[in-house]
Amino acid sequence: MLAIHSLRVSLESWRSVRLPLPMTVLPSLNFVHLLRLDGVLNFVRAWDAEPWLVVLGVAATVLVLGALGGAAVGFVTATLFNAGARSSGGLVVELEALPSPPDPLSHQGRGGEAEPSP
């Protein structure tokens, strides 16, 4: 917020610059108008008048840049991982089926055999 206020004060001071010429009436120039910075000055005035806009704008900018940075890091990581897998032939994972536990509602005992009926 200090940077925006400083920019506003600086641009406001450029609106009336007196030139030290040997004349009885010193001419003044409006460098903001000459450099076509009127829009910038109006924008800075609006942001300086509402400090919560600055906080909201900075927070939104940080959020967007962080999301873009995270997406870029994820993309680069995935690309490098895929390049390594492609060059090495990939990773082979073999799975074996585990024996299923006995169903407690069935009439089977612990050994997996059916119990004799009386």
pLDDT tens-digit map of 41-89:
999 998 888 888 888 888 999 999 999 999 999 999 988 888 888 888 7
Q: What are the b/e assignments for 40-51, b being 16+ CB within 10 Å? A: ebeebeebbeee
| Mean pLDDT of the region 24-34 | 81
Question: What's the pLDDT score for residue 55?
Answer: 86
Is 35:45 a contact under the CB 8 Å cutoff? no
Query: Which positions ≥6 away from 30 have C-beta within 8 Å?
Result: 14, 15, 16, 17
Q: Does residue 74 sit within a domain?
A: yes
Q: What residues make up the domain containing 54?
A: 12-17+28-86
Q: Does residue 113 sit within a domain?
A: no
| Helix axes 38-49 and 2-13, enclosed angle (nearest 10) | 140
Residue type, 42: N
Question: What's the pLDDT score for residue 39?
Answer: 93
Question: What's the pLDDT score for residue 65?
Answer: 98
In the chain, the number of structural domains is 1
Question: What's the pLDDT score for residue 68?
Answer: 98
Q: Does residue 1 sit within a domain?
A: no
Q: Does residue 43 sit within a domain?
A: yes
The pTM of the full predicted model, rounded to 2 decimals, is 0.45
| Mean pLDDT of the region 101-117 | 64
Is residue 24 over pLDDT 90? no
